Chain A
Amino acid sequence: GQQLNQSPQSMFIQEGEDVSMNCTSSSIFNTWLWYKQDPGEGPVLLIALYKAGELTSNGRLTAQFGITRKDSFLNISASIPSDVGIYFCAGHWAGGTSYGKLTFGQGTILTVHP
Chain B
Amino acid sequence: EAGVTQSPTHLIKTRGQQATLRCSPISGHTSVYWYQQALGLGLQFLLWYDEGEERNRGNFPPRFSGRQFPNYSSELNVNALELEDSALYLCASSLDLYGYTFGSGTRLTVV
Contact A42 B58 (CB under 8 A): no
- CB-defined contacts of B59 to chain A, threshold 8 Å: 1
Q: A45: which B residues are within 8 A, CB to CB?
A: 99-101
Contacts of B98 in A (CB 8 A): 31, 33, 48, 50, 92
Residues of A within 8 A of B90 (CB): 42-43
A40, B104: Cβ atoms under 8 Å?
Answer: yes
Q: Which chain B residues lie closer than 8 Å to A75 at the CB level?
A: none
B residues in contact with A88, CB < 8 Å: 42-43
Q: Which bracket fits the contact residues of B?
A: 20 to 34
- Tally A-B pairs: CB < 8 A: 61
Q: A34 to nearest B CB, angstroms? A: 12
Q: What separation, in Å, do the CA atoms of A41 and B102 have in the docked complex? A: 9
CA distance A40 to B100 in the complex (A): 18
Residues of B in contact with A (beta carbons under 8 Å apart): 4, 31, 33, 35, 41-45, 48, 50, 55-56, 58-59, 90, 92, 97-105
Chain A contacts to B: CB under 8 angstroms? 1, 4, 6, 31, 33, 40-45, 48, 50, 88, 90, 92, 94, 97, 99-107
